[in-house]
Amino acid sequence: MKPMSGAFWDRERKQPINGKAALKWVLPDENVTTSVPGITSLEQLEADLSIMADPVLTAEEKADLRLTEGERAAEGLFCAGCGACLEQCPAGVEIPAFMRGYMYAYGYRDLGKARGAPGAGFARFP
């Protein structure tokens, strides 16, 4: 899920992530059996479906995904949900849940999904 990692590379929302390239990058991974990209327009649906006809990343798409920079993850809106951060929080906050809510609210500007994200508004505090 979330191959677009928040839809933008930056907090200012000036550098959109190439969604088509992101799907092309994640789908060949043998550990990925499906992807759940959000689709809010017919153009997005057509772009996603076109990947079936041409699933190979081009050099330009690799550059768009910053793969030439050592395949680093997007900073800011992206959370892998691994939970490695949980033990570091003295307040016991469910950080991945908050990051998911933040991604929906800030990255996708979808407050309904942000409020509905599992645990996003209901962190456990000691």
Residue 119's pLDDT is what?
59
* 37 and 84 housed in the same domain: no
Per the structure, how many domains does the chain have? 2
* pTM of the shown model: 0.52
Yes or no: say if 100 and 106 are a contact pair by the CB < 8 Å rule.
Answer: no
Residue 6's pLDDT is what?
58
Could you list the residue range(s) of the whole structural domain that residue 85 is in? 79-126
User: Residue 64 and residue 11: Cα distance in Å, rounded?
Assistant: 17
* 51 and 1 housed in the same domain: yes
Residue 118's pLDDT is what?
66
The per-residue b/e assignment along 26-60, b for 16 or more CB within 10 angstroms, e otherwise, is beeeeeeeebebeeeeeeeeebeeebeeeeebeee
Q: Find the angle CA(52)-CA(54)-CA(55) to the nearest 5 degrees.
A: 70
Going residue by residue through the chain, which has 126 residues, state the pLDDT in tens, using 9 for 90 and above. 556 555 777 777 787 778 888 888 888 888 877 777 777 789 888 888 888 888 888 888 888 877 655 444 445 556 777 888 888 888 888 888 888 787 777 777 788 888 777 655 544 433
Give the count of beta carbons closer than 10 Å to the beta carbon of residue 65. 19
